[in-house]
């Protein structure tokens, strides 16, 4: 049997294993990108946002803080999000968090490479919003740390999960409401004892980012940033996707 050329081999491979949309698994003729339906349903954060909390603003408004941030300043200097938490973006996050499948998430991160490179420099330090230790030990997963690692890989930013820590055993935020939720959060985070010496190993020129996967009310990220402020450096906040209802 004659040897197959590389071209013929890759053609054969694409016939046996056609390229599929990384978001919905529909077979595609192309060999990269996603299908047109998914493309329509990807919701990047609008250009016009409140720099302080990151909520989308009406594009006709002059750039500046939103009404809530005018009244109350946040511990973080800026907040950025990559996507709105809906449609295929929500499906990608759920597949990653609930089933451990990160192909769709990786695709969405890859697709946002220009935005990520604009946001994060090689000197920046990414601190994942920490999970309670008992939950991390039980599941073996730490989603925001996983996300930091993926972003660090693309942007060259530094990543450290040992500076910002969770303290004690606390109830799941989703099981609490209102004031109880706030109280629970208020005492949930602390800096590790070696935080300052760990931070000293990085360039002092970089920004410090507190990173979470999904932002709902912003309370968790805000409390984590409040504690990170004890590092005496300007703090910035980032989430992969934020929920948003007009």
Strand partners, 44: 83
Interface with Zn ion by CB under 5 A: which residues?
21, 23-24, 34-35, 38, 50, 52-53, 66, 69
User: Of 165 and 229, which has the nearer Cβ to Zn ion?
Assistant: 229
Q: How far is the CB of 26 from Zn ion (least distance, A)?
A: 5
Burial status of residue 146 (CB atoms within 10 A of its CB: 0-12, 13-18, 19 or more): middle
Cβ nearer to Zn ion, comparing 192 with 216: 216
Backbone dihedral angles phi then psi of residue 134, each to the nearest 5 degrees:
-65, -30
Output phi, psi for 23, to 5 deg. Answer: -100, -35
Could you tell me the smallest distance in angstroms from the CB atom of residue 239 to Zn ion?
14
Nearest distance from C-beta of residue 28 to Zn ion, angstroms: 8
Compare residues 28 and 131 and give the one whose CB is closer to Zn ion: 28
The distance of closest approach from Cβ of residue 37 to Zn ion in the complex, given in angstroms and rounded to an integer, is: 5
CA 70 from centre of chain: 25
Q: Which of 212, 216, 213 is nearest to 224 (CA)?
A: 212
Task: Report the alpha-carbon distance of residue 137 to residue 19 in Å, rounded.
Answer: 36
CB nearer to Zn ion: pick between 49 and 144: 49
């Amino acid at each position: 049997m004659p040897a197959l050329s590389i071209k013929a081999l890759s053609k054969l491979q694409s016939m046996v294993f056609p390229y599929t949309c990384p978001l919905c698994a529909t077979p595609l003729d192309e060999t990269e990108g996603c299908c047109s339906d998914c493309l329509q349903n990807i919701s990047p954060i609008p250009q016009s946002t409140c720099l302080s909390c990151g909520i989308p603003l009406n594009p006709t408004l002059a750039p500046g803080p939103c009404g809530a941030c005018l009244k109350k300043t946040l511990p973080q200097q800026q907040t950025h999000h990559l996507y709105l938490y809906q449609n295929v973006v929500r499906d990608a996050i759920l597949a990653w968090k609930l089933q451990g499948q990160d192909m769709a998430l990786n695709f969405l991160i890859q697709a946002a490479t220009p935005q990520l490179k604009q946001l994060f420099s090689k000197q920046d330090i990414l601190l994942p919003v920490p999970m309670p230790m008992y939950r991390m030990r039980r599941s073996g997963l730490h989603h925001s740390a996983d996300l930091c690692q993926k972003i660090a890989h693309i942007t060259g930013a530094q990543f450290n999960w040992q500076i910002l820590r969770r303290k004690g055993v606390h109830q799941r935020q989703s099981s609490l409401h209102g004031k109880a939720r706030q109280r629970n959060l208020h005492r949930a985070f602390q800096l590790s004892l070696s935080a300052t010496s760990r931070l000293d190993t990085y360039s002092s020129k970089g920004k410090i980012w507190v990173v979470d996967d999904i932002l709902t009310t912003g309370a968790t990220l805000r409390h984590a940033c409040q504690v990170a402020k004890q590092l005496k450096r300007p703090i910035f906040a980032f989430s992969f996707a934020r929920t948003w209802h007009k």
